[in-house]
């Protein structure tokens, strides 16, 4: 991807997201998604650089960061929620939006597929076995970069107001509810939990902990440690819960062995 093409994508992103503004600008939750996309683009590029990818591929990684959550905007406009199961799959919606525009029409087929499949699968619990080998590294990269920033956003929101916006984004989540045993079972099996099982803020923390097992690249794990993401997350978990404490120790050992 050329410098001109990445600039065109950023310009399109800014105009597209601005179209969802109301009288007083973007809704706060949509502005969060704009800011999130900007940071994911930065992290995606930085991870690609650390992995030794070419300059063109680093541009492509950044573009994927900008576009990965494009389906969130129409999702929230139509359903007033970010809960996919109660509205639409925002990854699939994002890919559909890109397919319906001319934005990617001049981009080489390989890069177009990486963008479309990266957007489509960035939020999937599991990747399809038949995903093209040429596309798979890009899907893994955007999933890593996306998780990095979600860790950051959750940590910031907790510090600022106890993550009150969680109730606004996902009304079914109880901030002070107990731990769901199904979420613990998922992480014991070293797999990511489904958001359908998240009933409380503690469940959400444990789900994030399970994401560690889904990280694909060593530079991502290094950033998780450098940014104190893991320690910040585990400090908020109910460590007096025997199963939770055991999970924390297992994840810490996993991260230590993979850096």
Residues sharing a CB contact under 8 Å with residue 111, sequence separation 6 or more, in sequence order = 1, 60
pLDDT in the model for residue 225: 87
- Give the position of tokens 């940590």: 155
The mean pLDDT value for 189-202 works out to: 76
pLDDT in the model for residue 244: 83
> HEC profile for 116-130?
HHHHHHCCCCCCCCC
pLDDT in the model for residue 39: 97
Read off the pLDDT of residues 51-60 as tens digits, 9 standing for 90 and up: 999 999 999 9
Q: What is this structure's pTM?
A: 0.88
Read off the pLDDT of residues 247-257 as tens digits, 9 standing for 90 and up: 888 888 888 88
25: β partners: 22
CB 85 within 8 A of CB 39: no
Averaged pLDDT of the chain: 89
Please report the domains of the chain, with CATH numbers, ordered by start residue. 3-145 (1.10.3210.10), 173-258 (no CATH)
């Amino acid at each position: 991807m050329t410098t001109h093409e990445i600039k065109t994508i950023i310009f399109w992103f800014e105009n597209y997201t601005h179209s969802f503004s109301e009288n007083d600008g973007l809704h706060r939750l949509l502005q969060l998604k704009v800011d999130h996309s900007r940071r994911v683009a930065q992290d995606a590029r930085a991870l690609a650089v650390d992995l030794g990818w070419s300059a063109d591929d680093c541009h492509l990684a950044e573009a994927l960061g900008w576009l990965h959550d494009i389906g969130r905007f129409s999702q929230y406009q139509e359903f007033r929620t970010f809960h996919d199961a109660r509205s639409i799959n925002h990854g699939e919606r994002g890919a559909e939006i890109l397919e319906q525009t001319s934005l990617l029409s001049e981009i080489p087929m390989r890069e177009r597929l990486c963008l479309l499949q990266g957007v489509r699968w960035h939020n999937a619990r599991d990747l399809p076995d038949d995903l093209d080998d040429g596309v798979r590294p890009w899907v893994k990269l955007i999933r890593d970069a996306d998780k990095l920033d979600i860790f950051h956003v959750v940590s910031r929101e907790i510090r600022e107001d106890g993550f009150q916006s969680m109730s606004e984004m996902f009304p079914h989540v109880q901030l002070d509810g107990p731990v769901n045993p199904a979420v613990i079972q998922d992480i014991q099996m070293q797999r990511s939990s489904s958001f359908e099982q998240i009933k409380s803020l503690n469940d959400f923390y444990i789900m994030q902990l399970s994401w560690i097992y889904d990280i694909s690249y060593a530079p991502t794990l290094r950033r998780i440690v450098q940014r104190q993401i893991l320690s910040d997350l585990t400090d908020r978990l109910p460590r007096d819960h025997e199963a939770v404490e055991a999970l924390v120790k297992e994840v810490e050992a996993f991260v230590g062995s993979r850096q």
